[in-house]
Amino acid sequence: MNLRFSLAFAWYYGFRTIKRGPSYVIASLSSPLTLLFLIYIISHGELIRYAVVGGFLGLVASVSFASVADAAFLRIQLRIQDLFVATSISPTDYILGLTLSYLIFSMPGIILYAIIGALIHIFTIESIVALILLLVMLTISTAGLSMAIGGAVNHIRNVWGISAIMSVVLTVLPPTFYPYTDLPKYIIYILSISPTTPAAVLAQGFFGFEPIMYIMIPIMVVESVIFFTLARFFTRWREN
């Protein structure tokens, strides 16, 4: 594994993107912050804790889901993968670099939500550690799913609609911004096809909002492994 390349690529495609295009950061924050405002108004502040914790997850997930377009654009238009064929860089190094870049790109929003969360006093040491682990796992699973789809499409025109649909449906329908106990268990399991669902259910449990649904831990781990493996399969150098 070429960790040096993965970190350098993540820094360039994550941090440098923030510096070159801060408007993209604002765009990535617009949906979660709008939902936060609407939930606060509609629930008269009763669900604000859920909306803030869900905002962390929704932000990271939406950035990763939107990366379907990035993965396809880099492969089809820029043909960047063709440059790596004759090098020691493997598809795993490339996938890891892109995944880390999405986490870096999410950092301004994560910091903003951390400030909001601190103001409403929702954090404990245990919940912070759990949230960090959940965000890392969620980034791996959602980025893996996105790169698998981005590696499977044959034309760039198809990915913009796919990424938009994924970003909305797979982050808003799951219990990201509302109590998961409002849903029947079978609905929760159906919605678990989106990695955002187990992350949201576990986050609500670890923050003490709802009972911890421990079955979601292996579901999230398995999904992360499966989606990363799919991304590895569909991210193929030309010689493969």
Mean pLDDT by 10 residues, the chain (240 residues): 82 77 74 84 89 91 79 73 75 84 86 92 93 92 85 73 78 90 93 93 95 94 90 68
Count of beta carbons in the 10 Å neighbourhood of residue 211: 11
Q: Residue 31's pLDDT is what? A: 75
Task: Name which of 138, 238, 125, 119 is nearest 196 in CA terms.
Answer: 138
Residue-range domain boundaries for the chain: 3-234
Q: Residue 131's pLDDT is what? A: 94
48-65 and 107-119 helices cross at what angle (nearest 10)? 180
The answer to pTM > 0.85 is yes
94 with 217: CB under 8 angstroms? Answer: no
What does the buried/exposed string (b/e) look like for 162-201 if buried means 16 or more CB atoms within 10 Å of the residue's CB? bbeebbeebbbebbbbbebeebeeeebeebbebbbbbbbb
Each residue of 101-117: pLDDT tens digit? 888 888 888 998 999 99
